Amino acid sequence: MSNQILNLVFHLVGPTIIWLFICLWWDRKQPEPNRQIIRTFLLGGLVASLLTFINIPLTEYIKKLFFGPGILLILILSFLVDALIEEGGKLTCFKFIIYRFPSFDEPVDGMIYGIILGLGFAFTENIFYAFAIKDISLAADILLLRGFTTTFMHFIAGGIIGYYFALSKFSLGKKSFSVFKGFILAVLFHGSYNVLSRFNQPLFLYLLAILLIIIFIFIFRNILRLRKIGVDLIELLDK
């Protein structure tokens, strides 16, 4: 039993540490304060905890009332419940708390904080999943799978929101439009991920993997772009 519990904890924590390490490695040249990293991670967990008490009852309520085709139910739950509410929670947290961090002082910080927010969200969501499954071995396997898929999805979705907040904060685009665009893209990505995962068929899982790889490349390219913009801004201020 003790070995099973240790395995469960390892599968819960391990993938999150890997994604967090990648994020912090990207930010190694001008790292964020540890206090703000921890705070952002915990904020993501708090948002996930609060939204769990909205999403689960709402999902069950819609399932009871719904009488249309199954594909339509999947689309409604994926885009209008899961993606819209969860990304809306991240957006709200970022706008009213993270955006005001004094340490959010260069463009790349937006993506870093967005990614960490997403990781905190996913980590807490995975804890709820672990408690919902009675079989410890099955829970460990599911957590490992979620750690490299769903956690990765929240990593990316948070990065998308953070990227567009960075564009807004440093006047690299139209302020209100940039934030709205980031939110819509995060919802579309999150919803698409959930649709493909709910079908649970090999073809759709391959498409899901391709989607994650493509968006990860987008995240990496824009991390480099924002880092370069930050360097240019510092050089401009030093002149």
**Per-residue pLDDT tens digits for 107-163:** 899 999 999 999 999 999 999 988 888 888 888 888 988 999 999 999 999 999 999
Indicate whether 40 pLDDT > 70.
Answer: yes
Please give the Cα distance from 185 to 162 (Å, whole number). 12
Across residues 158-179, what is the average pLDDT? Answer: 84
- The pLDDT value recorded for residue 51 is 97
- The pLDDT value recorded for residue 174 is 62
Measure the CA angle with vertex 221, ends 203 and 190; round to 5°: 40
User: With contact defined as beta carbons under 8 Å apart, do 204 and 6 qualify?
Assistant: no
Report which of 200, 169, 228, 167 is spatially closest to residue 74, judged by C-alpha positions. Answer: 200
Across residues 30-50, what is the average pLDDT? Answer: 96
What are the φ/ψ torsions at residue 48 (nearest 5 degrees)?
A: -60, -40
Please give the Cα distance from 26 to 232 (Å, whole number). 18
| pLDDT greater at residue 29 or residue 230 | 29
pTM for the structure as a whole: 0.92
Q: Where are the domains of the chain?
A: 2-238
The burial of 101, by beta-carbon neighbours within 10 Å (0-12 exposed, 13-18 middle, 19 or more buried), is given as: middle
